[in-house]
Amino acid sequence: MSKPNLFQIATKELSQDGFFTWLIQWADSTNEEYDKELNVTAKSFVKLLSNNTADVLTVSAGRQWNNIDIWAEVNGDIFIAIEDKTNTGEHSEQLERYKQIAQEHYKNKRDNLFFIYLKTGNESIATINEVTKKGYTVIDRKAVLEILNSCKSKNEILIEFRENLNLIESQTNSFNKLEHITSNWKAAEGFYLKLQEMILPEWSDWRYVANQMGGFLGFWYHWTSHGDYSLYIQIENAFDYGIKLIVKIGDWEQSVDTLYSVLAALQNISNQYGLNLIKPDRYRTGETSTLAIVENTFQTNSDGIFDIENFHKTLKILEKILDTHSTDKNK
């Protein structure tokens, strides 16, 4: 049994808000006499937030100014607004509102305003790209750990926060085993993040999808138009209930006959590539429907190691099948 960790118990964003506000306050030079190493680390963190190499001398910081999670003023002429996230994402145009509030309040210091999206959990690259388009700099877990892991302070608060972040990082990177992907949420997210990197520059996205069967962590990409319907690739990770690679249909006139006819057309192509597409147990029509399941795609060796490179090759073949069908259909 591992020793208790405060931040594995206090997992809400408010707890993390408190930690980062506390760390930023430690960057003020007057705190060097209490813990020099912690002061140095805090200064490095503030420099990261403000993209600044100048000396950090005076710092004040707090929480919930005009609903902004964390704010900081540095050296009297720098203002930092931080939207702090653990496992949730931004919503309701909150980033635009917070940016406007700060810009109006600091009209004479616009060149020294910094807007940060601080994310210690995992988030889809598609979502992160949208955040950057709104004028925010994304500081992720890796960037935070690079600073915290170099800190030599014996402060227990910092040590426990760092240990928790390192645990999250380790779990996220444990997707080399299929049993981890289907049993640990962070490993499942890590698998999807790795896939997104491999698929770039093509757009892809992932998130939790609720349904009557208990929901799943879904991943989708590669939309192809076929005239009167569209097809795309999806992964459904239902954890204890299994993981599968499927082809979905949408933008269509809902008909079971269509499902059967499109499946037959895809199978004629997939057989040429040695990929076996099968019908789900039961066809259900909806706004989007499962058209086909790709068999034997999540294979492991005798040690349970999942070959993600081989899986990526399967995805590329599946892309070719959909592309070929699109070309044939649109001739």
Which of 8-31 are b and which e, b meaning 16 or more Cβ less than 10 Å from the residue's Cβ?
A: eeeeebeebbbbbbebbbbbbeeb
278-324 pLDDT, tens per residue? 999 999 999 999 999 999 899 899 888 999 999 999 999 999 999 99
Statement: residue 91 has pLDDT above 70:
no
* Secondary structure class of 163 (helix, strand, coil): helix
Q: Please give the Cα distance from 319 to 3 (Å, whole number).
A: 47
Pair type for strands 204-209 and 216-225: antiparallel
Which tokens belong to 238?
């239902």
Residue 104 has what pLDDT? 84
Q: What is the pLDDT of residues 242-291, one digit of tens each?
A: 999 999 999 999 999 999 999 999 999 999 999 999 999 999 999 999 99
CATH of domain 186-329: 3.30.1460
Nearest Cα neighbor of 245 from 324, 328, 321 is: 321
* CA distance to 109, 141, 163, 230, per residue, from 118 (Å): 22, 8, 18, 36
Per-residue pLDDT at 140: 96
Structure tokens at 37: 């190493």
DSSP letters spanning 84-146:
EESS----TTHHHHHHHHHHHHTGGGGGGEEEEEEE-S---HHHHHHHHHTT-EEEEHHHHHH
* Encoded tokens for 278: 């099968």
- What's the chain's average pLDDT? 92
pTM of the model: 0.91
Strand 59-65's sheet: what is its strand order? Answer: 59-65, 68-74, 78-85, 113-119, 137-140
Question: Kind and range of the H or E element at 255?
Answer: none
Q: What percent of the chain has pLDDT over 90?
A: 75
Q: Mutual orientation of helices 185-199 and 125-133 as an angle, nearest 10°? A: 70
Degrees (nearest 5) of the Cα angle 190, 192, 198?
Answer: 105
What are the domain boundaries of the chain? 6-171, 186-329
Residues in the chain: 331
Q: How far apart are CA 175 and CA 186, in angstroms?
A: 9
**What would the pLDDT profile of 10-62 be if each residue is shown by its tens digit?**
877 888 899 999 999 999 999 999 999 999 999 999 999 998 878 999 999 99
